[in-house]
Amino acid sequence: MQFRNLGRSGLRVSLVGLGCNNFGGRIDDEATRKVVNAAIEHGITLFDTADIYGEKAGSERVLGEVLGARRKDIVLASKFGMKMFHGGQGGSRRYIMSAVEESLTRLKTDWIDLYQFHTPDPLTPIDETLRALEDLVTQGKVRYTGCSNMPAWQVADAQWTARDLRLPGFASAQDEYSLLKRGAEKDLIPALKHYGMGLLPYFPLANGALTGKYKRNAPMPDGARLTKLPERAGQIFSDANWARIEALTDFCEARGRTPVELAFSWLAAQPVVSSVIAGATRPEQIAANVKAADWTLTADELAEIDRITV
């Protein structure tokens, strides 16, 4: 397993991270235990969850129970801000102070390594959010902070505000980024590079579209994620994206590789990426994800991929 710094911070994270959105809902507690065990055995240290994942914050609850004493051996990341089952949401001081206590209790820990603002709050000034997060860092309840789903201008505004107030600011941003979703390269990634932030891309396989199991003009596979998300499937499987998927598949076959290996290794080749967040429901998916990031793409291969996907 390779390790990288989270942006310009001193926090070291595994190149492949485990997305815990399947815990506490999509898979049961025993299946979660097997996935967590496999992740730790394969050297994954970054575990990414959120208070809204699972049924009634089930992901944090199950993860806290399964980790036990091993919690100290991992980098535990969670998020706040999206609307919870009890109605709470946002980035106000009042809400943040209660949200972190609830997450700490569910996770059975005294601290969260990376606490991420899950979505912008138009009703709360960013300086209020940043000051509250800094207080959590000072109290030792949070080590580093990050943001997610923020447009580039809001990231820049937050980092400028943090500098003006002499606060650390966000160490990372978690946003959608993949071979089929490269919009972040226009404004967001330049902003992250400027401010020394690491990118934690989610949906690295474009909801499974880059796994190779979907074929144009063929029935959707039973039980697959996009089969259950027709609206999302309609957005992803445009004629242009089908052409990209097929060209990328040919690219992989010519090199004896798989689309999954390409998806992970391409993201790993991006200097701004600190860790690739990927969910799993079975231990064998963990092994495949870790192996996938081992392919070192050449400059010529990266240029060819750009010609296919940009």
Active site residue ranges: 53
Residue keyed to tokens 């580039």: 152
CA 300 to chain centre: 28
Q: Which two tokens stand for residue 233?
A: 């499937």
Give the DSSP H or E segment for 245.
helix 239-253
Residue recorded with tokens 């990288």:
4
Q: Which of 15, 39, 60, 1 is nearest to 198 (CA)?
A: 15
156-161: list long-range contacts, CB under 8 Å, 24+ apart. 156/191, 156/194, 156/195, 157/126, 158/126, 158/130, 159/191, 159/195, 159/197, 161/126, 161/127, 161/130
Q: How many CB atoms lie within 10 A of CB 208?
A: 19
Task: For residue 77, give every residue at least 6 positions away whose Cβ sits within 8 Å of its Cβ, in sequence order, or none.
Answer: 17, 46, 47, 48, 49, 112, 113, 114, 115, 116, 146
- What is the spatial distance between Cα 310 and Cα 297, in angstroms, rounded to a whole number? 17
Is residue 148 within 8 A of residue 117, CB to CB? The reply is yes
Cα 190 to Cα 207: distance, rounded to the nearest angstrom: 25
